[in-house]
Amino acid sequence: MATERGKGPEFLEDRARRAYNRDVMQRYVVMDVPVGAVVLVAGPKGLTNVVVTSRRGREAERMAKARFVGVTSDPSLLPDLQAELEAYFAGQEVSFDTPVDLTGVTVFQRRVLQACRRIAYGRVATYGELARCVGRPKAARAVGQAMAANPVPIVIPCHRVVGASGELTGFSAEQGVGLKRWLLELEFGARSLGCRNVGGPVWRR
């Protein structure tokens, strides 16, 4: 049904997103990386979104504008995080400490994501281990749903969460499990992905 001078509901939804993004003063930047591009979006409370895409250059810029309607491009956004990501994709060990705004997730998902953020570089944890870490040992499936809802992959390293026997399960980024494997291989270097790290995960303090 047409509304507002013949405009459809899609128009109103688009306008609402523009108004919201303008009101919260969100900005974004597109970075080229070896796997394509990374889009960073941030507001007054911190980083709100990280999107990893196989697109590059102008194509990645067009995708960012279409996905984050009304958000302003700012190449100088989060310079420390940009430098950390460049180092990370160059194979250097990095601990991302940029403030993150997790307003859009549930209380349980926030607890899981905060625990996930403590998994050290070059280590993995299982969904069950994360569930136990947040005091819900039988909630491995819900932990998986929290990983799928992660708005800031890499910064909150959901790629370091694996199945009970070490298998690589789903990854919410555009490139899926292939990118998850690529990121883990980047961190593990010569170590085999076929084996869990001895002693289990190492949790950052």
What is the set of active-site residues?
A: 158
Task: Please compute, for residue 59, the number of CA atoms within 13 A of its CA located in the half-sphere on the CB side.
Answer: 7
Please give the biggest Cα pair distance in the chain.
64
Residue 161, beta-bridge partner list: 125
Edge-first strand order for the sheet with 27-33 is 46-53, 36-43, 27-33, 72-73
**E strand or H helix at 145:** helix 140-148
Phi-psi region of 123 (alpha: psi -120 to 50; beta: other; left: phi over 0): beta
Measured CA to CA, the distance from residue 35 to residue 186 in angstroms comes to 12
